Chains A and B, each alone.
Chain A
Amino acid sequence: EAQVTQNPRYLITVTGKKLTVTCSQNMNHEYMSWYRQDPGLGLRQIYYSMNVEVTDKGDVPEGYKVSRKEKRNFPLILESPSPNQTSLYFCASSSWGQGFTEAFFGQGTRLTVV
């Protein structure tokens, strides 16, 4: 089954404690991206990656890092989480080699920073 898998689904952490949210896709997609969803603001892009070792900032990259060492994985790293990073996070992937196709999203990670 084609899917994007995020872990963990729920996370409560304290300010300043480094954390990583993992994302893995099994569709051999070149393109992957992270979004956060906040009430009244909708979904906003954090970072994206067009292929292995190619990443770039989205609209709200401050406080986040990413890496793309393998095609299937695109982890989101919060080096020093703060309460304003409390949000619902989604990872997405698409194929784009022959033009962008349908975007697939993970089930989401609900992060609370206290």
Chain B
Amino acid sequence: KQEVTQIPAALSVPEGENLVLNCSFTDSAIYNLQWFRQDPGKGLTSLLLIQSSQREQTSGRLNASLDKSSGRSTLYIAASQPGDSATYLCAVRGSGNTGFQKLVFGTGTRLLVSP
């Protein structure tokens, strides 16, 4: 059974810092991995999607990497801003006959960026 862990659970940084959020998963047979942000009381906004054959994806100040063999992904946020404050969720879609039907989510990292 796939399990997804995100460390740290919470992170507080001053504005301008570069930071890394971590995601680990127990079963390396994945189809893709997706990073989301969730603002309080709001839905999930997709940030980056990495297919299993890819090593990284970039969008603006965000860079996500994937190391399937070690079961790890990182989300790198450059030059953090107060508007980046949110909960960041990592989700894995499995491969094979029984894994692709759902995303398995971590419990998230709550990020606070102070001005």
User: Does B19 have its Cβ within 8 Å of any Cβ on chain A?
Assistant: no
When distances are taken between beta carbons in the complex, the residues of chain A under 8 Å from B105 are: 42-43
Question: B100 contacts which of A100, A101, A106, A107 (Cβ < 8 Å)?
Answer: A100
User: Is B71 an interface position by the 8 A CB rule?
Assistant: no
| Chain A count of residues within 8 A CB distance of the other chain | 26
Cβ of B38 to closest chain A Cβ, rounded Å = 9
Contact partner of B46 (CB less than 8 A), chosen from A40, A103, A110, is: A103
Q: Is the pair B49, A108 in contact by a Cβ cutoff of 8 Å?
A: no
Contacts of A58 in B (CB 8 A): 101-102
Contact of A108 among B43, B89, B101, B102 (CB under 8 A): B43
Q: Is the CB of A100 within 8 A of B102?
A: no
Chain B, range 33-57, C-beta contacts under 8 Å to A: 34, 36, 41-46, 49
Q: Roughly how many angstroms separate A41 CA and B43 CA in the complex, as a whole number? A: 17
Q: Would B93 and A102 count as touching, CB distance under 8 A?
A: no
Contact across chains for A59 and B102 when beta carbons are under 8 A apart: yes
Q: How far is the CB of B16 from chain A (nearest CB, A)?
A: 30
Question: 15 extra interchain contacts, Cβ-Cβ under 8 A, other than A58-B101, A101-B49?
Answer: A33-B102, A40-B107, A42-B105, A42-B108, A43-B103, A48-B101, A56-B101, A90-B44, A92-B103, A100-B31, A103-B91, A105-B43, A105-B45, A106-B43, A108-B42
